[in-house]
Structure 1
């Protein structure tokens, strides 16, 4: 029999707020973390706006030792450690200082790619026959599992310590992987989340695909427009989100604060067949993912009060709304409230799911549904499916009991997780 799993800690390093307090305030106010980047302009990018966390150098001293900071040049690793350590502390847990690993505690922390700038530096040094100058931290900063290895060592965890990678689905997938491990009794506590790198070497490929907005270089905060008729594409972003998942028994024994319960979810793929491809979703798979997530969570579709969609501000937004409606059998005014945080934080790629799950859960804590920024002109195809009142423009007071969160990624992969307000 599966055990109940709850969320007892959260941390975030987002483009519009570093730390839960600042991030919550930013979501309330609709504050944007999207800015013009002179470096992208110098490199002749078509889209010269992006979203990345603003982390001050003196802040890093709270998260890294002087030795760890030496030669550190991997933005995703930095974001992930900040979010991960904050979530661990928020859960009332301390780093392990004994000589025995915390056998019941693990890490599942994902990324798409790690240490791109560090890897670039390494290439130049190798080509210049300066291999000995690479330094001892090059490998840890450039291997994908560097983030989980870093956090596992900082916290002293002895259960599974691993990194998952599933494009934009990574963060949400990691939460479900952690949920399954705890619910099956293989762990008591798992720090899960995901991080994504900043910079032109990450964002350049998307600019070349011409799927980023090009008409907002002088108006960055208006560039990301999920569900809008005037949307031109997604704004690239970066950062990290982290959650501590824990068995209910463990949380109660510790007297831990409980943010929410994870009821269940589903992972699948469209197989890149039919209408599915490397970059386009297979609608049948998306609908099946949503339906099975609801079924696996032991609820009915009408019980879902709010949805935090993937909704990237591309031409696929209207299709996503249709897929939600078909999967749930709900439309018009009966459709749940739905929002996307990407109007404020852009599309944080591998970090998107975890950052957005943190924001979704905060709605239980605050008794609100956060608003949709830059969605004054809702796409007419969306309005054919659901009523415009279900897409709040600003934060509204509302106390959701059940929230669905989904992420859909390159490679035609899907994840949907169902959270509920905690009830003893």
Structure 2
């Protein structure tokens, strides 16, 4: 019998998946703490949402610099440092007494840590380690974010209800530290370290030459990308993606459901179901991205999301009805299905700098999320309900669909030559660029 050795790329992907699961769970924690923090400290929803907004903003803004830091210092060192930062930020919240401390700890420290394990990390891993099945692996790793919600949210909601929010915060701190040894053991920076080709590649690629400065690399990529119309269309659509997922639903679904008499643990369970269905939807999206034009996929995903948000206000009730479960299923399938086609389009338009450029596109995602988190909190305080936020988000999602379809405008370019961090996938064979 011939024994086949599993390619090391799969071990790297597995560790990356675990880190992404943790990062998603760490970011989701504030959604179950809005009520308890309000009850204990008397802070308004808008005040607590401000800390969440800082977290979301830094989560996105850190991504392009983290991708550049991974080129400079290596993936493993950056991810280990990020996990330690998350642990410190979450653990110290048990000592806070003022709202600015929440902003500093959960907003700044945890935001920086989780931002280093954002989707720019996914683009870097798949760009270096995979040629074959790159879209599918992107979908699987992106689904790690959904799995984080699935694993952490019900547990943290239960801990918060039965033992208080401090126990939940310490649980996050311990979980982040527990991943550090695994990252040190199995995560590798580049296939060249092991003198092998990426999975599906035909030759060993040289490791990338470390740039002189991560900030310079990130800003240079932004400067070059910003000259293309395609960048602004992708960034605009992804900003709306962030506003309609992490910023609004991820942050405010639980308190919105609680406004209608739904217990927080039940609402957290519903949000966890979104994560479970998103695993299926995102993996399927990765599979489709290898076969269908990414522009068509994005246009369809955003339009369907907009329609679902427009009907959401009518679905809230004191008890969970089948119609709400149907929304959870549908919305979950679409939650971050936008990521694989967006990563692919960044690679098509921007070549070897696709991972860093995607970091900037992802930063726009988090700008949108931060704005939506704050705006929804203010609307809730001023109007007494979240209805205006849901309707506004639905309209924005339809706009994102139009922005995605506008990517079809422009001339076709010659195929981009294979290089470091660039796939020769069918979807990249005839890239388009918009002026």
- TM-score, normalised to structure 2, is 0.29
More helix by share: 2
More strand by share: 1
- TM-score, normalised to structure 1, is 0.30
